[in-house]
């Protein structure tokens, strides 16, 4: 009888550990989804504001601290999700702090992601999130 209670107690301990691991994994997954939502939101905000700025300025590239900050926010939100994309977003932030320098350097603009590309990336992340929920 004592052996049976000891085994049952041991079994309950294992079950509690498994439940704890599952809860931890689900919480982590939920956090990752929340981080993806925040990242795509920040990136889409930067894309939309950049597009609006370019329309209003008739495609003139002048330093713009607000856009630089939006791209930096998008970069920071994207780091835990996609480091390669985050680097591109960081380049966009740096571009808007001094666009004339970037435009003067040959090949520098290849480091700046196209707004259409980023729209597509946002869409693909949104589809991925929709498929998970």
Nearest to 42 by CA among 1, 92, 109, 106: 92
Digit-coded pLDDT (tens) for 74-117: 999 999 999 999 999 999 999 999 999 988 988 878 878 888 99
Q: Which two tokens stand for residue 130?
A: 């929709």
- The 8-class DSSP code of residue 133 comes to -
Query: Model confidence over 38-75: pLDDT tens digits?
Result: 999 999 999 999 999 999 999 999 999 999 999 999 99
Quick check: 101 and 63 in contact, CB under 8 A? no
Q: Tell me what percent of the residues of the chain surpass a pLDDT of 90.
A: 54
What is the reported pTM? Answer: 0.73
Tell me the DSSP string of 7-40: HHHHHHHHHHHHHHHHHHHHHHHHHHHHHHHHHH
pLDDT above 60 for 4: no
């Amino acid at each position: 009888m004592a052996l049976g209670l000891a085994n049952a107690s041991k079994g309950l301990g294992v079950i509690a550990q498994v439940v704890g691991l599952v809860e931890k994994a689900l919480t982590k997954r939920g956090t990752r989804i929340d981080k993806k939502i925040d990242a795509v939101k920040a990136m889409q905000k930067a894309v939309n504001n950049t597009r609006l700025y370019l329309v209003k300025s008739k495609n003139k590239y002048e330093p713009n601290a607000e856009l630089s900050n939006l791209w930096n926010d998008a970069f920071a939100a994207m780091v835990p999700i996609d480091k390669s994309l985050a680097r591109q977003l960081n380049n966009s932030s740096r571009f808007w702090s001094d666009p004339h320098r970037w435009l003067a350097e040959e090949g520098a603009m290849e480091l700046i992601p196209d707004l259409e590309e980023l729209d597509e990336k946002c869409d693909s992340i949104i589809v991925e999130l929709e498929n998970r929920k």
